[in-house]
């Protein structure tokens, strides 16, 4: 039974807050949180990410960035990252997560690029990738639960 999902990206202000918001909407009975490998601790989500999510009917304006810790990683049933490098870094730093650590776009064998500092159009493209990946994970998690 999957009860807790952790989404991880670099700064925890763009991709992971968007994925967290989408997963919370599609999997309302599961605890979803996010963190960053080099999180801008305490910072809110990027304003472009907030706008894109608001346009999708999801409010992430209260989000505050958290750093990934062993305790947070240990609590999660599934950890979803944005790219292969993050997956490798986390599996080296926290070997106990192997077997529950996947890329968000795992089923597409794809990385989700970081839109930080990019134009809104790039954020929108990243949002679409995240949304498609979240939809796939939601189907699979629902079938497991």
Strand partners, 5: 32, 78
As a whole number of angstroms, the distance between CA 10 and CA 135 comes to 22
Residue 128 host element (H or E): helix 120-144
As a whole number of angstroms, the distance between CA 60 and CA 96 comes to 30
Query: Three-state DSSP class for 79?
Result: strand
Q: Which two tokens stand for residue 91?
A: 């599996």
As a whole number of angstroms, the distance between CA 53 and CA 72 comes to 25
Tell me which residues are annotated as active site: 9, 15, 114
């Amino acid at each position: 039974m999957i009860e807790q999902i952790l989404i991880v990206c670099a700064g925890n202000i763009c991709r992971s807050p968007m994925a967290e918001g989408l997963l919370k909407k599609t999997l309302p009975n599961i605890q979803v949180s996010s963190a960053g490998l080099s999180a801008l601790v305490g910072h809110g989500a990027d304003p472009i990410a907030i706008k894109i999510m608001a346009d999708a009917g999801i409010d992430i304006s209260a989000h505050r960035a958290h750093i990934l810790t062993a305790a947070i990683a240990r609590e999660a049933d599934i950890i979803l990252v944005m790219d292969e490098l993050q997956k490798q870094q986390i599996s080296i730093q926290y070997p106990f997560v192997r077997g529950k650590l996947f890329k968000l776009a795992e089923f597409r064998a794809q990385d989700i690029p970081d839109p930080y500092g990019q134009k809104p159009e790039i954020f929108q493209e990243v949002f679409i990738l995240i949304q498609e990946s979240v939809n796939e994970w939601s189907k699979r998690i629902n079938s497991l639960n």
